[in-house]
Amino acid sequence: MKKDDKKNEQIENKELENLENQLKRALADYQNLEKRISDERQSFARVANKNLIAKLLPVLDTLFLAQKHIQDEGLDLSIRKFLDILAEEGVERMKTETEEFDPNTMECVRVAEGEEGKVLEEIRPGFSLNGEILRPAQVVVGKQTN
């Protein structure tokens, strides 16, 4: 092989290596773009679900209120079905009654005589969505009077 042929081959090898590197970078950029778009779609769906569920909670509040005043098997069944559907979507009702007051998950709307720092009554239930607080519970908290 001549010196010029060897030099041309080295140049071609470098150009080939540069093209391979560019192709690898372009492929990695494309895969990152696909992942980012997928993540954005999932995020959009989560936000849309969260907003829809937040809009439905006042309807559930109305059903709970009706349940306090009307003892009806059909109403109880409707509420259970509503809660089951919400649970399938990752919504959980927070347990509050007889629990210690937690300002991270509860909102104190009234203080009444009772065991200090304990939730005496739930005014409006609180819910979480996949572990994130969707709406804090409104509660009556006990306070001892001397």
Please name each of the domains of the chain with its CATH number.
Answer: 91-146 (2.30.22.10)
Judged against a pLDDT cut of 90, whether residue 35 lies above it is answered with yes
Which pTM value belongs to this model? 0.70
Tokens of residue 97, six digits: 């009654």
pLDDT single digits (tens) 2-19: 777 788 888 888 999 999
**Are β-strands 127-129 and 91-93 bridged in parallel, bridged antiparallel, or unpaired?**
antiparallel
